[in-house]
Amino acid sequence: MSEHYFVEEHDHLSTTPTPTPTPTLPHPTGDAQRLESEFLAIISHELRSPLAAIKGYAATLRRHGQKLGRAEREEYLRAIDEASDRLDLLISRLMTLSHLEAGTLTPRLAPVDMVHLTREAIASAQYRWGMGIAGKGKHVFAGPEHDNVPPALADLRLQRDVLDIVLENAVKYSPDGGVIRVELAPGDTMLTIRVYDSGIGIPPEHLHRIFDRFHQVDQRLTREVEGAGLGLAICKRSMELQGGAIWAESEPGGGSVFTMTLPLAKPHDEWMI
Ligand code: ADP
């Protein structure tokens, strides 16, 4: 895009110069207050950057649209579309987490074909970030290998969200060219789902805390990857609500494995959806 137009429009939107500086958080006077301050800093940052992009591109199109070529206009519209999707996703994750925490989300458990669900989630991740998208994305996805996996008892939508979040993280925290592999392993009563990545890994002291809301290993607001620290908190509560669990194993620099478990469906459970 044209730097000239964007900078001109972007500047009057925001009182902060670019790049956005890390806000100074008030001194914590207790855990709750510290969490609240962190929440406000992270959420306002994550809301503001797509909003600034939408405002900047829309204002540019309105004022200079006539002078722009067709390709440039398309590019600006695509950027507005993507930034709107980011806002939509953030708001829906905030709502999901608040429902999960308030206990107002009742899971609709039914037998689910996890091979199918996992392949759908991979196909969608591949479309967004994989080799499939005109050679643009650079992550490679693999698995699950076997078709004959018994159904799990799960809430289809909750479990799809969990898979989307774990796959998205595998991409976000891996370098281009990283391989992401999904494995399904049925046991006697539980189904185990593992997602392997070859990314930056997680330091041991963070391994449990990443499932707390807003906990991010890299807490600088200037970090390159987007995120509000909501995803894994949603995953943990969603897995527990379905009678399963999620945990991570990792080596800094050596990739991570996220393991999820779900109860296997019993013959009398309602038929597969
Ligand atoms: P975020 O929006 O920050 O990605 P999440 O709740 O999804 O929030 O994850 C919390 C934190 O856990 C991330 O900020 C990151 O530090 C770490 N993390 C999650 N998944 C991975 C992964 N696959 N590899 C390395 N670090 C990860």
User: What are the pocket residues of ligand 1 if the criterion is a CB atom closer than 6 Å to any ligand atom?
Assistant: 165, 169-170, 172-173, 197, 199-202, 210, 215-218, 227-233, 256
Instruction: Give the least confident one: 27-36, 95-104, 232-241.
Output: 27-36
Rounded CA-CA distance 190/193 in Å is 10
Q: Ligand 1 mean position to 168 CA, how many Å?
A: 9
Domains and CATH numbers, the chain: 3-102 (1.10.287.130), 109-263 (3.30.565.10)
Mutational test site, ligand 1, from 89, 92, 216, 250, max ligand atoms within 8 Å of CB? 216
Predicted local distance difference test score (pLDDT) of residue 138: 80
Residue whose C-alpha is closest to residue 157's, from 112, 91, 191: 112
What is the mean pLDDT of the segment spanning 160-171?
96
Q: What is the pLDDT of residue 44?
A: 87
Which residue out of 232, 235, 259, 260 has the highest number of ligand 1 atoms within 8 Å of its CB and is therefore the one to mutate?
232
State residue 271's pLDDT score.
Answer: 57
The encoded tokens of residue 11 equal 């500047």
Is the pLDDT at 14 greater than 60? The verdict is no
pTM for the model stands at 0.83
CA-nearest residue for atom 13, ligand 1, is: 216
pLDDT at 224 over 50: yes
What tens digit of pLDDT does each residue of 189-199 get?
999 999 999 99
CA–centroid distance, 183 to ligand 1, in Å, is: 20
Q: What is the pLDDT of residue 221?
A: 61
pLDDT tier at 3 (50, 70, 90 boundaries)? very low
Question: With 50 as the cut, is the pLDDT of residue 171 above it?
Answer: yes
Q: Which residue has the higher pLDDT, 128 or 87?
A: 87
Report the Cα–Cα distance between both ends of the chain, in Å, rounded: 45
Cα separation, 200 vs 163, in Å, equals 19
For residue 200, count other CB atoms closer than 10 A to its CB: 20
Between the CA of 269 and the centroid of ligand 1 the distance, in Å, is: 34
